[in-house]
Amino acid sequence: MAPRLQLEKAAWRWAETVRPEEVSQEHIETAYRIWLEPCIRGVCRRNCKGNPNCLVGIGEHIWLGEIDENSFHNIDDPNCERRKKNSFVGLTNLGATCYVNTFLQVWFLNLELRQALYLCPSTCSDYMLGDGIQEEKDYEPQTICEHLQYLFALLQNSNRRYIDPSGFVKALGLDTGQQQDAQEFSKLFMSLLEDTLSKQKNPDVRNIVQQQFCGEYAYVTVCNQCGRESKLLSKFYELELNIQGHKQLTDCISEFLKEEKLEGDNRYFCENCQSKQNATRKIRLLSLPCTLNLQLMRFVFDRQTGHKKKLNTYIGFSEILDMEPYVEHKGGSYVYELSAVLIHRGVSAYSGHYIAHVKDPQSGEWYKFNDEDIEKMEGKKLQLGIEEDLAEPSKSQTRKPKCGKGTHCSRNAYMLVYRLQTQEKPNTTVQVPAFLQELVDRDNSKFEEWCIEMAEMRKQSVDKGKAKHEEVKELYQRLPAGAEPYEFVSLEWLQKWLDESTPTKPIDNHACLCSHDKLHPDKISIMKRISEYAADIFYSRYGGGPRLTVKALCKECVVERCRILRLKNQLNEDYKTVNNLLKAAVKGNDGFWVGKSSLRSWRQLALEQLDEQDGDAEQSNGKMNGSTLNKDESKEERKEEEELNFNEDILCPHGELCISENERRLVSKEAWSKLQQYFPKAPEFPSYKECCSQCKILEREGEENEALHKMIANEQKTSLPNLFQDKNRPCLSNWPEDTDVLYIVSQFFVEEWRKFVRKPTRCSPVSSVGNSALLCPHGGLMFTFASMTKEDSKLIALIWPSEWQMIQKLFVVDHVIKITRIEMGDVNPSETQYISEPKLCPECREGLLCQQQRDLREYTQATIYVHKVVDNKKVMKDSAPELNVSSSETEEDKEEAKPDGEKDPDFNQIMHAFSVAPFDQNLSIDGKILSDDCATLGTLGVIPESVILLKADEPIADYAAMDDVMQVCMPEEGFKGTGLLGH
């Protein structure tokens, strides 16, 4: 037998044996135990759900036995934030600033650049007070150089594991949440830094960017006719190498320097020959810098999509790069050594993550810089690690080429940094200036203070945890009540007492009280029975209340529960009795009317009513789970959601007996008495009770009205047979010969009248002809004769003169509108004039046309056609399936509002239909160029069923020109508005 049935049977047996006036304290305790379902199930198990005697699994396990001190707090060891010995300092990623962090680390490990920046004069002297730093305010760098100085000093001598570069990023005006192009950032910042340092007096500082990064090459053009050379000198700070179609770095450099033939339309104008001649052009490297930056052009412009994409192809490169074969002047030292590899993780050009592998110039060891995390590579070899596996999904990965000793392959490297090999040992002593070191020392002091504070907080948490441990070990053993005096305490409070992460609050038992301010029987499952000894300690230490002793068990709730249980038990017997009584015929006038729907569901209604009475006590104290709930409001809300109460299904709108006998049934007096025991407030209707007199009158009036409507409909249908059937209707475009006058009514009147004639019992009669809708406020006609034969023909209905006479008899006509045909006779026999009464109002007609045009341009879906012009021939396609709507859709469907966030369709969708990128599209309609891609179709004058002409520009064959196309046709925000462009 199911536990719930066991519970109910046990409760019934107990309730049947004791009368309400005989209930004692022992009976009350017995009732609480019976109504506690888990106790009926048998022996208390571990973590018994709802059993107040079970004190296992409530959170005590974390306090019993030996405990690790770390479990007493969630404060990390501050020493984890300390810089490791012989390691570098990381940089915090502020959201999407990993591209900034990678370059900062690369520049920091350029010792010459760092030393030069340290030599820059600083405004820090204003910040100094006497021999030290002002303690009451923080140092704020004023220039980009000062920001770099302070950052480099912290990266060099800070005790922190990582530092915050937000001051530097803020000074540049960068958006910390937007990923930017790292190569563009490098170019712009080097330009800004060079411009800033150019104002310095010290030549070692003023020229450091050029000395370290600046080389020179020449664009050389040679005329094939006369052999004249034309040179255009240019400085560079990095070489931009195309990697598409190449596998080795040397191949990329060779392509960069390869000779280009200038022939045909691309011939060169020779100053010597004074005419266009065939020529050759190439780049010659004249000088190379100490630090050679090679930008691998992984991010290219895709003409098909109109966006940038990333090339995830492998490129091989060596640790030693001999540039002598590529320079014009031989004999110098041009052997370079790899010093950094910048990596972009991810398959998209618009997202991903930047990291850097950089070699320490002092130790020669490689490190991986990943924002806050710095990892030293094993040995002195470059290890690109798992970065290559993150380039694209594994299914589309190509096999990594084999790399020989001293060479490497990468599908994610976007910049390679080479340092010129020299016989001299690098300067390993880059001293931090005194004023910067003092700032670093102050920051280190703050860090040490923070470490001490965190360590003290950890110690306090441990001490507090140990004290709580002893308290729990002592008190938990005394929690079980046994046979001694006991009290009830909220399980939720006990669990919070055992939870070390939250402070213990005073005991609150209010949510478990009934309306009599005692322990509710249904709340005992969320309480725990503990010893009086433990309760005394809890209340003395934490306070709260009310205390729930054995006297807190509610007698009133027990008696009410017994009453309801007895009624539920009796309900089964009464249900059988009522069914038997319903089978017998009702004699005389002793019967009562009961709704058939109520009879079918009376047992369920009675059971729900008893459950509701039982549940009212649960909420009658005004609180549920600690939240205030107004009793009257909660009952009112439930009442609104309920269906009709018993026997209310035979009430008419006036509160009397309904007139429909199909909805009710006559039952005997005995059956009604049984039903009244469960529904004492149900409406009572003896068999002799008359039906509602008002409903009878309304019924008779309704029958009379229906008969009248049918008679009117038949009369009007007989009088206007052609108008109803729409047969032999006159037409303006083909004017009938047998009449010179036609009358006009609105089509709306005709449709409403036909609805009434078809279904006179469901529709009201049409009493008037409202022709005012066809006239303007001045009383003039809104339509021309030509428009009434075409687009406005759906708004009007033409009437024969004979029909018009009948219409005037049957309906009230507000305005007479007629069209008269006049033959010109001798003046011009072939010409006919049509005169309207009233006459056309030109001003209002013009306004109507303008409004119709505005309405045409306001839509959410429509079919738009596109004609592509190819060699003066047209290829027709729909612009995109998303723009089409079926002609079978209703106007309501077409005008349905777009979901939030959905944008108006734009012409980028044409790209999918014709494979023409947006920047190659020349769109026009009726000779007007469509160039505003932010406007809606309607504001551009593109109405439904319009035809747009598309003429596509021819693709640019020169792939090298794609960057220019991107800048001109697809501008990106990039670093617009930042400090990088401020100079």
Closest CA to 809 of 754, 748, 756, 767: 767
Identify the pLDDT of residue 966. 30
List beta partners, residue 513.
519
Mean pLDDT check: name the lowest of 254-268, 573-587, 841-855, 905-919: 905-919
pLDDT tens string 21-63:
666 666 666 666 655 544 333 344 455 667 787 888 787 776 6
Mean pLDDT of 502-518: 86
- The C-alpha atoms of residue 112 and residue 205 are separated, in whole angstroms, by 10
Peptide bond just before 838 cis, omega within 30 deg: yes
Given a contact cutoff of 8 angstroms between Cβ atoms, the answer to whether 379 and 284 are in contact is: no
* Domains of the chain, residue spans: 4-55+479-557, 78-124+140-204+431-458, 209-384+402-420, 723-856, 861-869+907-982
Query: What's the whole-number mean pLDDT along residues 670-692?
Result: 88
3-state secondary structure 339-399: EEEEEEECCCCCCCEEEEEEECCCCCCEEEEECCEEEECCCCCCCCHHHHHHCCCHHHCCC
Q: Which of 129-143, 175-189, 255-269, 673-687 has the lowest mean pLDDT?
A: 129-143
Its sign, for the CA torsion 100, 172, 971, 295, is: negative
- Percent of the chain as helix, strand, coil, to the nearest 5: 40, 20, 40
Whether the pLDDT of residue 866 is over 80: the answer is yes
> For all residues of the chain together, what is the average pLDDT?
78
Report the first-to-last Cα separation within the chain, whole angstroms: 87
Residue 487 pLDDT more than 70? yes
Contact 65, 348 (CB under 8 A): no
Tokens matching residue 221: 């053009």
Q: What is the pLDDT of residue 90?
A: 93
**Percent of the chain, pLDDT > 70?**
78
- The model's pLDDT over 272-319, given as tens digits with 9 standing for 90+, comes to 888 888 999 999 999 999 999 999 998 887 777 777 888 888 899 999
pLDDT at 566: 76
H or E element at residue 722: helix 721-725
- The percentage of the chain sitting over the pLDDT mark of 90, rounded to a whole number, equals 16
CB atoms closer than 10 angstroms to residue 117? 24
User: Domain 78-124+140-204+431-458 - what CATH class?
Assistant: alpha beta
Sequential DSSP letters for 41-101:
H-SPPTT-TT-TT--SSSSGGGTSS---GGGG--PPPGGGGBPPTT---EE---SS-HHHH
How far is the C-alpha of 857 from the C-alpha of 864, rounded, in Å?
Answer: 12
pLDDT at 6: 47
Would strands 627-628 and 865-870 be described as parallel, antiparallel, or unpaired?
A: unpaired
pLDDT of residue 3: 43
Cα–Cα dist 755/716, whole Å: 12
Closest C-alpha to 439, from 193, 118, 174, 161? 118
For the residues 654-658, what does the mean pLDDT come to?
Answer: 88
Read off the pLDDT of residues 556-588 as tens digits, 9 standing for 90 and up. Answer: 887 777 777 777 778 888 888 888 888 888 877
H or E element, residue 261: strand 260-262
Q: How far apart are CA 141 and CA 148, in angstroms?
A: 9
Estimate the crossing angle of helix 596-619 against helix 669-678, to 10 degrees: 20
Higher-confidence residue of 611 and 531: namely 531
What contacts 478, CB < 8 A, 6 or more positions away?
Answer: 531, 533, 534
pLDDT at 911 over 50: yes
Q: What is the pLDDT of residues 393-424, one digit of tens each?
A: 544 456 777 777 888 888 889 999 999 988 66
pLDDT at 656 over 80: yes
Structure token digits, residue 52:
């107040």
For residue 339, the model assigns a pLDDT of: 93
Cα dihedral across residues 388, 390, 392, 396: positive or negative: positive
Query: What is the rounded average pLDDT of the residues 239-254?
Result: 91
Beta bridge partners of 358: 340, 367
Both tokens of residue 281? 């052009």
* Each residue's pLDDT tens digit, 736-769: 888 889 999 888 898 998 899 888 888 888 889 8
CATH number of the 723-856 domain: 3.30.2230
Tell me what pLDDT residue 908 has. 52
Query: Would you name the residues annotated as active-site residues?
Result: 98, 353
Establish whether domains 78-124+140-204+431-458 and 723-856 are of one fold: no
pLDDT exceeds 60 at position 618: no
User: CA–CA distance from 654 to each of 657, 724, 771 (Å)?
Assistant: 9, 41, 42
> Residues for the chain: how many in total?
983
| Separation of alpha carbons 481 and 488, rounded Å | 10
Class at the top of the CATH hierarchy for domain 861-869+907-982: alpha beta
Stretch (H or E) spanning 634: helix 631-641
Q: Is the pLDDT of residue 255 over 70?
A: yes
At 66 the pLDDT is 65
Segment of 12-16, 68-72, 484-488, 681-685 carrying the highest mean pLDDT = 681-685
- Say what the pLDDT of residue 213 is: 92
Q: Are 419 and 213 in contact, with CB atoms under 8 Å apart?
A: no
Tens digit of pLDDT for each residue in 136-183? Answer: 567 788 888 989 999 999 999 999 999 999 989 898 888 888 878 888
Higher pLDDT, 496 or 386: 496
- pLDDT for position 285: 92
For residue range 525-554, what is the model confidence (pLDDT) as tens digits?
A: 888 888 888 899 889 988 998 998 888 888
User: Class assignment of domain 209-384+402-420?
Assistant: alpha beta
d(CA 564, CA 606): 11
| pLDDT tens profile 91-126 | 999 888 888 999 999 999 999 999 999 998 877 655
Task: Quote the pLDDT of residue 903.
Answer: 43
Element spanning 963, H or E? helix 962-969
Q: Is the pLDDT of residue 967 over 80?
A: no
Give mean pLDDT, residues 458-468: 76
pLDDT of residue 698: 84
Give residue 126's pLDDT.
55
The confidence score (pLDDT) of residue 23 equals 67
What are the pLDDT digits (tens) for 424-435?
666 667 889 888
Confidence of residue 964 (pLDDT cuts 50, 70, 90): very low
Helix (H), strand (E) at residue 833: strand 832-837
pLDDT over 60 (residue 640): no
Helix (H, G, I), strand (E, B) or coil at 805: helix
Better-scored residue on pLDDT, 695 or 133: 695
Least Cα distance to 479 among 146, 195, 60 occurs for 60
